Amino acid sequence: QMLLYTHPFNDARAARGLPAINSFWVHGTGALPPGLTAPAQPPQVADALRAPALREDWRAWASAWNALDAGPVAELLRQAEQGQPVRLTLSGEHSAQTFHTAPLGLVQRIQRFLRPQRFMDMREQL
């Protein structure tokens, strides 16, 4: 509201006797214009780890990880190895981190080689 309150278009509206515009609403309802399409695939949510973790059933949790590694994670790896764009979001109780494939420059490749990111370090941030 404060951003729009001082905008020059509100001075012009006031000069014409019109009320100030101090907000606007952006929404995502309605039909897409012709030529635009919805995303090809909705995001996949793999929540098989959640229930075993909440029950503190670590054997089932490890089994769920193995299933993820053999299924969706293996598919993401295959796509990345073929040069396709890949995006993975890992979420924890308090936050999430998103990783995506992108071409790496020379400096980034050297940094990755000299300081690889360890999962245990990243896990603490979730």
Question: Please, which pLDDT band fits residue 83 given cuts at 50, 70 and 90?
Answer: confident
- In terms of Cα–Cα distance, which of 14, 3, 76 is closest to 46? 76
Which tens digits make up the pLDDT trace of 2-22?
Answer: 667 788 888 888 999 998 888
pTM value > 0.95: no
Q: For 94-122, what is each residue's pLDDT tens digit?
A: 888 888 887 777 887 788 778 877 766 76
Is the separation of the CB atoms in 100 and 80 below 8 Å?
Answer: no
Sequence spans of domains, the chain: 48-84, 85-126
Query: What does the pLDDT read at residue 122?
Result: 67
Residue 91 is classified by DSSP as E
Q: Look at 51 and 93; give whichever has higher pLDDT.
A: 51
